[in-house]
Amino acid sequence: MKAKDIMEPLKAYLAPDDTLKSAVNKMKVCGRGEGLVGVKGMVVLDADGSLMGVVSIKDILGAVIPSYLKVTKLGGFTWDGMLEEMARKVADKKVSEFMTPNVISVPERAPLMECADLLIKHNLQRLPVLSEQKKVVGMIYIRDLYYAIVKVLFEGEEICPL
Amino acid sequence: MSAVAHEAAVSAETYAMDGTFWTATIIFILAYAVIVSEKVHKTVVAVVGASLMIVLKILQQHEAFHVEELGVDWNVIFLLISMMIIINLMRPTGFFEYIAIKSAKVGRGEPLRIMLIFALVTAVLSALLDNVTTVLLLAPVTLLIADALEVDAIPFLIVEALASNIGGTATLIGDPPNIMIASKAKLNFMDFVYHLGPIVVVMMVVFLAIVKVVFRNKLKTREELKERILQMDELEAIKDPVLLKKSLAVLGIVLLGFVFHGVFHYEPATVALFGAGLLLLLSNTHDPHHYLADVEWPTIFFFMGLFIIVGGVVKVGLIKMMSLKVLALTQGNMFATSMILMWFSAFASAIVDNIPYVATMNPLVIDMAQQLWPHESGLGLLHHPELMPVWWSLALGACLGGNGSPIGASANVIVVGMAERAGQKISFLKFVAYGMPIMILTVFISMIYVWLRYYYFV
């Protein structure tokens, strides 16, 4: 199997000029699978459809935490309500300012082992899948690879309840 | 005296505008122009320029590495490295955060009081440590306090940068120009305290009074926000009390060492190196890699490269030519020399980094002294009574000039960068609007001081 066989086809994406608030909204309403519970990360594409970066919930948290806290050990001196205050302050921040740029991606024809290796080696949750024209065509989530492994282990077996 | 050193001494006596002269001059001018343009990182420029001085046989490698007058000033380098190691060991203890939070609490959450206390604390720490470290450690706390009080952080940050440059002027280790001047002019720690300390105190008083008047009605906060500050427990900042005690003890020994280094004939670098070694030993670290890697190597290599570049133009006689021009201009009037040097240094340091500026001016001042008093040598020459005010004027001008623009001093660069990362951009002109008047005022005070102390009441 190759990356394109297990990937989730690209349904929604963010633009670099989207605000943080609208990005959160897109992530909230875009479900994956049957549950439609929202996604925890989304690719950022420019006007030509080229991959610019990824926004995950970690990036959203990172945007809300002030830069001076990140470089110090001052976390103990914050106050009740600070997170909420800062969240309101960054609502209009542009996606391009807080996304993770230089995303690691895979081509459609990448073997699953390469995908698994990249996810673990770089501590990632998801990998954008690129076509030969370098356009994003889908996403592979760490869960998809886990399910691929589960499938192998229980091939031809009835899954028995405990 | 080795043959090489002898040759160097001879070549310093005369200069000819030959091919070597022009090659060295072009390297020097190009290097400084590229540094000012910021097109290439200044450290890269310094290293390339220095290597060219040797590759093109303007300096022999031996001169660049081992001859004090022409190459790297290891006294400056080891003083800087050692102090950086001490700070690197102290930083994780949380000492600086403790001081900052404590200051904000002493200010009772009142923005103007906090601004004044922070300015004072910054000035004192900048005098005892280096400016960059001081603002690097205080700026994040400042941003936090400003957020807590819902006030604009930018005035606080600019006031701190200005205070650090004023405070750093007071001591030998406070600001890089002073470190360089002290080494070349063989001045000790107490010389700086005695000659620059009093006027820096006066400048700080004036500066704080101005800050108080300017921001009196501008900084407002609400009572419930002050509570946020008052409920902070500064003791929580202390992450490693054992190492903190050891660090403070070593810092105490080092400062004591600085006070007495002149008496016991130790160089400041020896004192600092001893402190760095002792604290590394006491910290029980099994992996000093981290503390050593965190030394600001780009700054260190910037210094080393500049020393060699300047050494090249000293050897070919460019510096001598410049010093003769200065002498022709001032006609040997030392009062005029001091005043011109002070104001020129201030504006030059506001535009160019004051480190390359002072690296160039030091040999120029020494050369000028050699022309004026050809029969003197050694300390008799360097500490000639008429030369002393010239050194102090250079130090005052170069240190205080740093306040003139956001690129004038490293502390300013740090503050502007940190504010930008926090989403609060300080524009070039905004900094100049605060910094330039303070620069002009403090240099003016220095001018009156030098005139009164060294020329009027002699």
How far is the C-alpha of B377 from the C-alpha of A139, rounded, in Å? 77
How far is the C-alpha of B139 from the C-alpha of A68, rounded, in Å? 8
Min Cα distance A99 → chain B (Å) is: 15
Of B101, B237, B422, the CB nearest to A66: B422
Q: Residue B14's pLDDT band (boundaries 50, 70, 90)?
A: low
Instruction: Indicate the residue type of A159.
Output: I
DSSP annotation of B455: I
B409 in any annotated domain: yes
Using alpha carbons, list the distances in angstroms from residue B110 to A35, A83, A157, B116, B282: 52, 23, 71, 10, 40
Residue B400, C-beta contacts closer than 8 angstroms, at least 6 positions apart: B165, B166, B169, B203, B346, B349, B439, B442, B443, B446
Q: What is the mean pLDDT of chain B?
A: 92
> Number of structural domains, chain B?
1
Residue found under tokens 């104001």: B343
Report the pLDDT value the prediction gives residue A35, as an integer from 0 to 100: 57
Residue B427, C-beta contacts closer than 8 angstroms, at least 6 positions apart: none
Per-position pLDDT tens, chain A of length 162: 899 999 988 888 999 999 999 999 988 887 655 555 677 889 999 998 899 999 999 999 999 999 899 888 888 899 988 999 999 999 999 999 999 999 999 999 999 999 999 999 999 999 999 999 999 999 999 999 999 999 899 887 776 666
Residue found under tokens 């869960």: A143
Q: Is A94 left (phi over 0), alpha (psi -120 to 50) or beta?
A: beta
8 Å CB contact of A73 and B97: yes
Structure tokens at B454: 């060294």
Answer yes or no: is pLDDT of B429 > 60: yes
Sort B328 into a burial class: Cβ within 10 Å, 0-12 / 13-18 / 19+.
exposed
Of B101, B140, B232, the CB nearest to A68: B140
Please, which residues 405-434 of chain B have a Cβ atom closer than 8 Å to chain A? 418, 421-423
Find which of B90, B147, B240 to mutate to test the A interface (most A CBs within 10 Å of its CB): B147
8 Å CB contact of A71 and B140: yes
Residue ranges making up the domain that contains B366: 3-71+95-237+296-456
Q: Which residues of B touch A62 (CB under 8 A)?
A: none
What are B72-105's pLDDT values in tens digits? 999 999 999 999 999 999 988 999 999 999 999 9
Contact A13, A137 (CB under 8 A): no
Min Cα distance B345 → chain A (Å) is: 34
Q: What are phi and psi of B277, to 5 degrees?
A: -65, -45
Least confident of A33-37, A79-83, B127-131, B227-231: A33-37
DSSP annotation of A107: E
Min Cα distance A3 → chain B (Å) is: 38
Structure tokens at B225: 């926000």
Residue found under tokens 């006609």: B331
Residue B211, C-beta contacts closer than 8 angstroms, at least 6 positions apart: B115, B116, B119, B159
Of B94, B232, B421, the CB nearest to A73: B94
How far is the C-alpha of A95 from the C-alpha of B435, rounded, in Å? 35
B282 in any annotated domain: no
B77 in any annotated domain: no
Q: What separation, in Å, do the N-terminal and C-terminal C-alpha atoms of chain B show?
A: 39
Q: Which residues of A touch B139 (CB under 8 A)?
A: 68
Min Cα distance A66 → chain B (Å) is: 6
Residue of A nearest to B92 (CA): A73
What are B357-398's pLDDT values in tens digits? 999 999 999 999 999 999 998 999 999 999 999 999 999 999
Compute the C-alpha angle B133/B135/B136, nearest 5°.
60
| Cα dihedral B448, B451, B166, B414 in deg (nearest 10) | 110
Q: Which residues of A touch B (CB under 8 A)?
A: 66-69, 71-74, 76-79, 82, 85-86
8 Å CB contact of A68 and B423: no
Residue of A nearest to B98 (CA): A74
B155 in any annotated domain: yes
What are B260-298's pLDDT values in tens digits? 998 999 999 999 999 999 999 999 988 899 899 989 999
Residue A137: its H or E element? strand A136-141
Min Cα distance B234 → chain A (Å) is: 8
Reduced to 3 states (helix: H, G, I; strand: E, B; else coil), residue B102 is helix
Min Cα distance B401 → chain A (Å) is: 28
User: Taking residues B313-340, what's their average pLDDT?
Assistant: 91
8 Å CB contact of A67 and B423: yes
B368–A contact, CB cutoff 8 A: no
Other Cβ atoms less than 10 A from the Cβ of B452: the count is 12
8 Å CB contact of A73 and B237: yes
Q: What are phi and psi of A100, to 5 degrees?
A: -90, 115
Q: What are phi and psi of A111, to 5 degrees?
A: -65, 155
Of A74, A76, A79, the CB nearest to B141: A74
Q: Which residues of B touch A79 (CB under 8 A)?
A: 148, 228, 231
Find which of B90, B138, B143, B235 to mutate to test the A interface (most A CBs within 10 Å of its CB): B143
8 Å CB contact of A73 and B147: no
Q: Which residues of B touch A76 (CB under 8 A)?
A: 233, 236-237
Compute the C-alpha angle B452/B453/B458, nearest 5°.
95
B265 in any annotated domain: no
A3-153 fold: CBS-domain (3.10.580)
Residue B448, C-beta contacts closer than 8 angstroms, at least 6 positions apart: none
Please, which residues 191-230 of chain B have a Cβ atom closer than 8 Å to chain A? 228
8 Å CB contact of B228 and A69: no
Min Cα distance B269 → chain A (Å) is: 30
B452 bridge partner residues: none
Report the pLDDT value the prediction gives residue B11, as an integer from 0 to 100: 41
Using alpha carbons, list the distances in angstroms from residue B17 to B70, B316, B321, B432: 19, 8, 10, 40
B286 in any annotated domain: no
B176 in any annotated domain: yes
8 Å CB contact of B144 and A66: yes
How far is the C-alpha of B229 from the C-alpha of B118, rounded, in Å? 14
Compute the C-alpha angle B227/B229/B235, nearest 5°.
125
What are B140-193's pLDDT values in tens digits? 999 999 999 999 999 999 999 999 999 999 999 999 999 999 999 999 999 999
Task: Please state the domain extents for chain A.
Answer: 3-153
A101 bridge partner residues: A53
8 Å CB contact of A66 and B143: yes
8 Å CB contact of A72 and B239: no
Other Cβ atoms less than 10 A from the Cβ of B41: the count is 13
